[in-house]
Structure 1
């Protein structure tokens, strides 16, 4: 009787109706260990191993080389080292159990064996042989054969105990009970037969072949000597023996440094065990010498609380043609004053080369160190320069990364230093720095007065300031024209991450599937994700600019924490929103050769930043800053040059092509005539802002629209129009209003085409279409999602199409996204119950519920293809420790982790460094007096004992030798032809057998036919006889 006129909308979710149309999965997982316990570096193969406190080992190598190992028990990894000679990873855990991993196994390293020891205190390996030295708390040194995988019979007793027993009659007091504890064992850098054992009481040099003690060094501070604590020590008038805490050998092998518990460092010559060469602290020298005047002057001062020397390394570099080496670097962890406010970090001293000439008066048969050589050693210990690595937390350990050689304990020619730093929540993170500091390698050049021209000072000011900017990025990136171009298959993807570090507040990574394309001939050539260092946004230059300091709050300058960031896909303009309320817009550099000068803006809220210098290899530079002194509640940037920033009860719209403020709301109209009066919904607060170029009901023309969502559920549509009196644009005074959904989610407003479901954004293409008459039947819809549900509307301001409520059992919805698959679209809501709710469009019918395979969905972000990224944060340290890259549609995705074959990079260990002379090589009397070095094979025979089994030979490499390719092909061809001939003969035999079977079946058929005919004849005869009565 009555006809209801209702618009029928096309179903945009045709191919997403069933749960089978979705396939939730994690494509890649990334772990970031925060409980780092130790590190190990293999420079030849390029491997880095990280041991954690939970019993896991992470191995990193070249491009996409990453694997994770687990100990049999989740206990702390105490020591971790690579065995270059056997290509193994050796681990000693907190329970003194030794674990050997074979790095040559395909796929991932394999645990081959484990062995238990009694209370181990150190682990020492050498790249020249296959035995490990393990020091025990009892003072004994045990050996383990890594090639035969067994404990060797060779043992070293507690040599310090034997030394004390031997010298007990000459000692002035009894040693401390803990003086026999072994701290560290170090192989002589140029003689494998010599082993340094650092006990808590002193240093022992042992001859492995002769099984005896060659030297013993013990530091005894005389009464009155300040030592590490200074003259205020309560026991300064007594003999003191500080405990040994660290040891480092000079690369030449003739003297070494020892760190002690009182914070002092003693240098000893190998040929003089009676008197140290020099005893210092980080700020004093000759602290083992008694100065009566200083003692009397500072006797009543309190002692200086100084850290023990925790670790020492002595590095040499390829900077000298002398076989004794050139300048060296001594890296010191510890020894700092433990006063409140003192800086945290570690020191590096740049020491002169030890290249003395021939003594003027040779000592002849003198057994002790020649005075000339002693003086030369002391001169080589006076630092030429020093450097302090400041760290954000207390450094716990450090590790040097050598360039290519594993010799000299892995300290030769290092290129980087990795520092384990104590972080929040009792965690440890790794900080990486360049090593050695650049100031050590580049001599300082003093400018002369003739070189400086008066006129060039002003001209070169900009370049001078640019040279002072700091940039840690080693590469220069050439940015493509757009980051959002498409391919017929998998489109490239860019990941943007936020960080607390101002030097890298925003970082970009390439996570495209194209990075994982490989073949048998061409392995993977890129890391995944691939860092894009040229796009990194550095805030340091911004925070120190005078114009920024003048206009911003102190909290922004002291702690600039990024709250959110948004990137315009086409214009590549990036807006950064800070917790303190400031908003900064970055854009690509236009002309880096001619940076503009500082200009004042006509708006109080805006600060021009085009004059701020940025690093040469940085592609982003600051454009302008927006500051109002209020916290930001919403922010939106478009590809056509407009920025909208919402506050609790105010709104600012910026035309970025000025920049200028084109619209304000919420300020006092008496102070600003451009302000508009507050609407009733303004007091609710703005939570959502969205730019689009679309039509609305009763306005079929495409125009630039800004959709403002309020907490109460009201929404306003602001239209940008051209100003009749100027070429600029302004906000139309007629503002449309519509009731939507309460508490709209940030990024939860979508404008879609009603026919195909494609998103309608404020793009350049849409803006170009708005200059022409809009074709008829051009309609759109708005989908807005909030914390309680979602609504869809026709033509933005038209009638409501559908609504849905999330329900109480679903949990809290954190974020929403409209995803697309094969032309079909669906609204997906992600909840804190680790679920994803899918709804149809435009009628918002519940399609299915998917379980999220991630522990923390609060930080999950999803794009329109269904790919998502979720991060799990360590609550104690507030640092991300795990990230997952997944998708809603895991169908034929190419993100499977690659197979790893470390055997391809199996290292070829260079020859063991040989002993060098004290003086020039022509001085025969100054050669190392303990004899020539033995080879690693000889040492393995010595340590392995007479019953050492013959080691099994392992494959050399997984690669094929090019010279043997032809023979291998011929062999394969021969095998192939033989196989074919066998198959042909088998086929022939099969045919013959089938023929015989056919003949037999034919004969059986004929016999059966004759039998049937004969039976019929006999039956007929019997019937005839019965008929005639015969």
Structure 2
């Protein structure tokens, strides 16, 4: 360390930060983003979402602020996950056939109840799009678990044991009975593989089991098969491949991939590997009443003329994707969908070159013919009038295609509006899409549902017009937390800013919650043990996190500590970080502007984002070297009809959808990528490029007021030759002692050019001759800092010019220097070298606490070096908290964000929010209370009459449906053990425990076992009261002893001093 002199006008700015106890590096929040998601589950009544991701973690999401991570004991990926709402548990099965259950009623976070190994001989079917191995009805307490062998075993979720009721492979049984009557051989192993198991939506006594060769309807009480639905194409039928198929003159049986049941329980649809859809009536297993694809109808019927023509002029068919998943949704009223209509969501079935789309069809109501006409045939098959009515109800009136920004769609999940029945497909009001993108193997995004075109179309319009296809390339995204959306958007990094209250309130004052994913389950409360620390958060600065994403989004998040203050009776009401969605800047939409497309490539990505903390202007730089300036609509000047004459500037005067930031102009000089950028709150922008050029722009025009087109050349050591352009690596605006606006441009060679901006006749201009200082070689990005020499406040170029001494600090890769103003090279105050003991310095920032300042440097070994100001004396070295990475952003108050990236995709997988000053900063995670919103389960839907279908439906005994209790008794058997006594949910701190105890005593007083438990509880409560009294007495005794010692010491001192 070298000090030129000590100026009496410059006081020690680090006086209150020299003690090591002043520095306490602490992690405040650790966010691990779900990556490589395998399966998800939804609790539809209160609104909870569970997501199983890699490394054995389940992420649980509820209402804003309700988030928690549940570790899987085996640390393995889950292949099945579902909510058991009847017992309020979460059930999961991992890839090693371990079954887990978690109790959702536990206060704090869900508690692991069961961890058992399923019989190794019974491998559970893996769950993916269209394949489900776990079926749990909200009306009873048993789970049906589908095995890869085709068998089904049941699990008692109350007694936590496997029930004796088991179902053999129904397709094996069917093959044995029909082996001599088959057109084609289906005894191979592939045809026996199971696909799905579904509880009948209106009859708990029935279940559908789908195999690759067909679907079986099974009666639990009678333990017999009621129907087998097997689809076979007759010779000559075109199928999905058309009449040019080589095997068109043979029987063909496509492989089943998925199925879905209509809410009325009388119809279901089956999807096949070839991309076809077969619609069946439960009451008729002879043949489907309609077979079609997304491209054609009646593909199972033979057209002899087309068949004859195709034999001479056959063309190869276009490849069609399999139908991966189906969801048939009904609606209770006509608010979002015309009354009586239904929607069929189809994943797959499209041409193979469109893997990132899925389709929603709007199907008309079923209008049955008179019962007499339907029953006139007198046989157990659907007559022509009934088939025609069913057919008309299955031909879509409208088709809507969602196009997702992804490589392909992996799975779909509909979110019901409070109805857990019908597989969660009834009254759907949102859809979750699990997809693979360029930056994530499997991520989740939420979209509005039903489709806008279907919801806005009247019945009259549907009768007049058959709309074949309506493509929306940008489906309406729903608001989710950063933790849920980070992987789908491709979070790259971000910067944290401490804002003044006025600027902060302007950013966050507009609340938009109507487009939020409707998850409302649970409540979150601050940890009561840190209530005193939590109350102090109101004195913390307000902070904003600005992030950039791979999908060309810039997002703003409220990361203020006040969001975590949920002290009773007020619960936490916001996510942390809380994304401010009406500030999102969609650069992909901006780059579709024709004026922009003429100058830059639409495939550009975001390379740099800067926010001015005072003016709130935002600069976004792209990888191709274009610079965009955005302003809040509340601060944007009135639009001007005049243009700009400079070809490097392009005015952008329009608004972005659902964003309060408006594009102002674009700077695109074609100088290559941006190297550094700085924005002042008085309307000046400076940008340096990789070719060594430097531009200064007056935002009030906008107008370029200075540009250095010919870059400096960097000289080789001991040589007359040059190495290349001398890049401007760091920029900073400031105002010097004489109230001159200065731009400090630090070059890679170690020089610093200081440009002076003059205001002449109301316009800015730059003086011709810059001042050159001997700064530091290889300056760090944003490695120039300006502070007040007195008062300890940051000093940047703003509108409050004051006659004060400024200190300018230059931080480079090897050293740091401090200057008094920027007038000449002799104004250097101090210099220090980093050394190599603690690693290479990668990031610097000046932080303040109270009225004191200090310079902190972060190394690649995760060390934090602390230096005094202005004399750069080394004071301390500290270690970043565990898990924190060296890629970090620190605000002026010492709070920081660190980013850990995925090595394969280059996006953030883990971030830590921490602080350098952790004294009395709360770190405990919020307590989650899911019991407070535990839903009341709607009653089980009863069988519906379907007009003409009632005649056939009576053969199956739909009127003899069982209740949930009867199904439980049937599956558990006569020797079912008594359920384990249900332990009361842990009482949240601060609640009225006396009332709860009294209610419990009255409810259980008639049972001896419960009375003994109550007595033991009272005894424990009494002992607790005694313990509290003894503790209070002990504390009082200690206080008395301490006071006596203090008085004795005072008296001794007085006598010794002679008082």
**Does TM-score exceed 0.5, indicating one fold?**
yes
Give the Å deviation of 1:595: 6.8
The equivalent of 1:410 in structure 2 is: 424
The equivalent of 1:652 in structure 2 is: 695
1:736-779: CA deviations, max 9, x gaps?
Answer: 2110111111211112222333221112222xx3xxxx4xxx42
In structure 2, distance between residues paired with 1:487 and 1:86: 38
Which of 478, 482, 486 aligns to 2:503? It is 482
Matches within 5 A, 1:624-635: 624-630=665-671, 631-635=673-677
The equivalent of 2:234 in structure 1 is: 222
In structure 2, distance between residues paired with 1:186 and 1:955: 31
In structure 2, distance between residues paired with 1:88 and 1:970: 26
Give the Å deviation of 1:172: 2.5
The equivalent of 2:264 in structure 1 is: 252
1:609-643: CA deviations, max 9, x gaps?
Answer: 12x2333x422111111110012221111011111
Which of 742, 746, 765 aligns to 1:705? It is 742
Q: Is 2:568 the partner of 1:520?
A: yes
1:954–1:53 distance in 2 versus 1, CA, 3 Å: same
The equivalent of 2:364 in structure 1 is: 352
Alignment check: 8 A CA contact 2:884 2:912 kept? no
In structure 1, distance between residues paired with 2:66 and 2:765: 54
Give the Å deviation of 1:691: 0.5
Which of 841, 861, 867 aligns to 2:889? It is 861
TM-score normalised by length of structure 1: 0.84
In structure 1, distance between residues paired with 2:821 and 2:196: 76
In structure 1, distance between residues paired with 2:614 and 2:919: 29
Q: Is 2:26 the partner of 1:25?
A: yes
Which of 644, 655, 661 aligns to 1:613? It is 655
SS at match of 1:482: helix
Q: Is 2:142 the partner of 1:131?
A: yes
Alignment check: 8 A CA contact 1:358 1:923 kept? no
The equivalent of 1:848 in structure 2 is: 876
Give the Å deviation of 1:327: 1.1
In structure 1, distance between residues paired with 2:643 and 2:800: 33
Give the Å deviation of 1:191: 0.5
The equivalent of 1:174 in structure 2 is: 185
Alignment check: 8 A CA contact 2:446 2:478 kept? no
Alignment check: 8 A CA contact 1:223 1:236 kept? yes
SS at match of 1:896: coil
Alignment check: 8 A CA contact 2:655 2:661 kept? no
1:472–1:940 distance in 2 versus 1, CA, 3 Å: closer
The equivalent of 1:563 in structure 2 is: 607
Moved more, 57-66 or 538-547: 538-547
Give the Å deviation of 1:849: 1.8
The equivalent of 1:572 in structure 2 is: 616
In structure 2, distance between residues paired with 1:785 and 1:293: 82
Give the Å deviation of 1:182: 1.7
SS at match of 1:168: helix
Give the Å deviation of 1:220: 1.2
Alignment check: 8 A CA contact 1:324 1:916 kept? no
1:129–1:961 distance in 2 versus 1, CA, 3 Å: farther
Q: Is 2:636 the partner of 1:623?
A: no
Moved more, 87-96 or 730-739: 730-739
Alignment check: 8 A CA contact 1:831 1:857 kept? no
Moved more, 627-636 or 357-366: 357-366
In structure 1, distance between residues paired with 2:277 and 2:949: 30
SS at match of 1:570: coil
The equivalent of 1:947 in structure 2 is: 975
The equivalent of 1:1023 in structure 2 is: none
Which of 270, 273, 277 aligns to 2:285? It is 273
Q: Is 2:119 the partner of 1:111?
A: no
Give the Å deviation of 1:795: 2.5
1:810–1:446 distance in 2 versus 1, CA, 3 Å: farther
Moved more, 233-242 or 81-90: 233-242
The equivalent of 1:421 in structure 2 is: 435
Alignment check: 8 A CA contact 1:351 1:381 kept? yes
In structure 2, distance between residues paired with 1:425 and 1:124: 32
Give the Å deviation of 1:367: 3.6
SS at match of 1:702: coil
Matches within 5 A, 1:677-692: 683-692=725-734
In structure 2, distance between residues paired with 1:158 and 1:6: 89
Alignment check: 8 A CA contact 2:27 2:923 kept? no
In structure 2, distance between residues paired with 1:968 and 1:602: 80
Moved more, 361-370 or 273-282: 361-370
In structure 2, distance between residues paired with 1:251 and 1:941: 26
Q: Is 2:943 the partner of 1:888?
A: no
The equivalent of 1:529 in structure 2 is: 577
Q: Is 2:510 the partner of 1:496?
A: no
The equivalent of 1:380 in structure 2 is: 393
Give the Å deviation of 1:169: 2.1
Alignment check: 8 A CA contact 2:566 2:572 kept? yes
The equivalent of 2:767 in structure 1 is: 732
In structure 2, distance between residues paired with 1:925 and 1:240: 30
Alignment check: 8 A CA contact 1:918 1:927 kept? no
Give the Å deviation of 1:356: 2.4
Give the Å deviation of 1:598: 4.7
RMSD of aligned residue pairs (Cα, Å)? 3.4
1:767-812: CA deviations, max 9, x gaps?
Answer: xx3xxxx4xxx42221110111101122233432221112234333
The equivalent of 2:682 in structure 1 is: 640
Give the Å deviation of 1:415: 1.3
Which of 647, 650, 659 aligns to 1:604? It is 647
SS at match of 2:644: coil
The equivalent of 1:757 in structure 2 is: 792
1:140–1:446 distance in 2 versus 1, CA, 3 Å: closer
Alignment check: 8 A CA contact 2:135 2:145 kept? yes
In structure 2, distance between residues paired with 1:468 and 1:289: 35
In structure 2, distance between residues paired with 1:926 and 1:209: 17
1:874–1:642 distance in 2 versus 1, CA, 3 Å: same
The equivalent of 1:1005 in structure 2 is: none
SS at match of 1:284: coil
Alignment check: 8 A CA contact 1:473 1:534 kept? no
1:853–1:230 distance in 2 versus 1, CA, 3 Å: farther
Alignment check: 8 A CA contact 2:448 2:476 kept? no
Q: Is 2:706 the partner of 1:663?
A: yes
Give the Å deviation of 1:928: 7.2
Give the Å deviation of 1:114: 2.7
Matches within 5 A, 1:183-198: 183-198=195-210
Which of 781, 795, 813 aligns to 1:787? It is 813
Structure number with higher relative contact order (C-alpha < 8 Å, ≥ 6 residues apart): 2
The equivalent of 1:311 in structure 2 is: 325
Matches within 5 A, 1:707-722: 707-722=744-759
Which of 830, 854, 873 aligns to 1:802? It is 830
In structure 2, distance between residues paired with 1:35 and 1:969: 45
1:649-683: CA deviations, max 9, x gaps?
Answer: 222211111211222222699xxxxxxxxxx9994
**Structure 2 runs not aligned, ≥5 long:** 126-132, 462-471, 481-499, 507-535, 713-721, 1003-1013, 1034-1059
1:288–1:968 distance in 2 versus 1, CA, 3 Å: closer
Moved more, 563-572 or 849-858: 849-858
Alignment check: 8 A CA contact 2:267 2:280 kept? yes
1:598–1:446 distance in 2 versus 1, CA, 3 Å: farther
In structure 2, distance between residues paired with 1:588 and 1:875: 36
The equivalent of 1:1009 in structure 2 is: none
SS at match of 1:544: coil
Alignment check: 8 A CA contact 1:418 1:432 kept? yes
Give the Å deviation of 1:200: 1.7
Moved more, 534-543 or 568-577: 534-543
TM-score normalised by length of structure 2: 0.81
In structure 2, distance between residues paired with 1:24 and 1:120: 47
In structure 2, distance between residues paired with 1:878 and 1:468: 26
